[in-house]
Amino acid sequence: MTDSRMESDLGYVRDVLDRSERNASPSSIYWLWAIIVLVGFPLADFAPGFVGLYWTVMGPLGGIASGILGYRFSRSLGQVSRRAGRQHALHWGAMMIVIFAAVGMGIAGTVAWSEIHRIILLILSLSYFLAGVYLEPPMIWIGLLMFAAYFVMFFMSAYAWTIVGIVVAAGMIVAAVTGGSGRGRQS
């Protein structure tokens, strides 16, 4: 085997590996979270008393549903990886724990309750952005959209969370249509 052939072979292996890691999430996960966000964010404007309950239930439930959808998708794609599943679970699990910790600060009174929503939006924007960097590229745009929404909220007084919810859900729908994968192939 010559140097050039070895180089070409290793390049081929690297290319194959790169392509295998370029899986988009199933679009169903983006749609699921678009719906959860579209209902959950406006609650802060229309029924603030239900915000905590809604996210305490829908956050973990949405996470579990995403895990199931992701596993079903990977089986239908033909590529099952516990390592990738663990990465997603750690990333989104950590995000939820930090959000609950932020809510805890609001309940304890160490941070003004009126600021907790904004802090959560910042946590969400960073989490989605980093997910875009390390896990699913389309999420970078959702993270940036959330970060922009954080600034916009300083200039809005009425229905701010409803508008932010619509914008974020729209971002997820765009990601579902452009970046998310539909069904995998069978063999």
Partner 1 sequence: MAGSRSADAIWDRLDGFDRLLEHRTRLGVCVLLARNDRLNFSRLKELTDETDGSLGAHLRKLEEGGFLKVNKEFRDRKPVTWYELSAEGRNRLDRHLAALVELISKDHVGGEKE
Residues that bind partner 1 (CB under 8 A): 1-4, 6, 8-10, 12-13, 16-17, 19-21, 77-84, 184-187
Q: Between 114 and 186, whose beta carbon lies closer to partner 1?
A: 186
- According to DSSP, residue 115 is labeled H
Residue 161 exposed, middle or buried by CB count within 10 Å (0-12, 13-18, 19+) = buried
Minimum gap (Å) between residue 12 Cβ and partner 1: 5
Q: Between 6 and 177, whose beta carbon lies closer to partner 1?
A: 6
Q: Which residues contact 124 (CB under 8 A, 6 or more apart)?
A: 95, 99, 143, 146
Rounded-to-integer distance, Cα 113 and Cα 5, Å: 63
Minimum gap (Å) between residue 127 Cβ and partner 1: 25
Q: Between 6 and 94, whose beta carbon lies closer to partner 1?
A: 6
Q: Between 3 and 49, whose beta carbon lies closer to partner 1?
A: 3
Rounded-to-integer distance, Cα 1 and Cα 112, Å: 68
Minimum gap (Å) between residue 83 Cβ and partner 1: 7
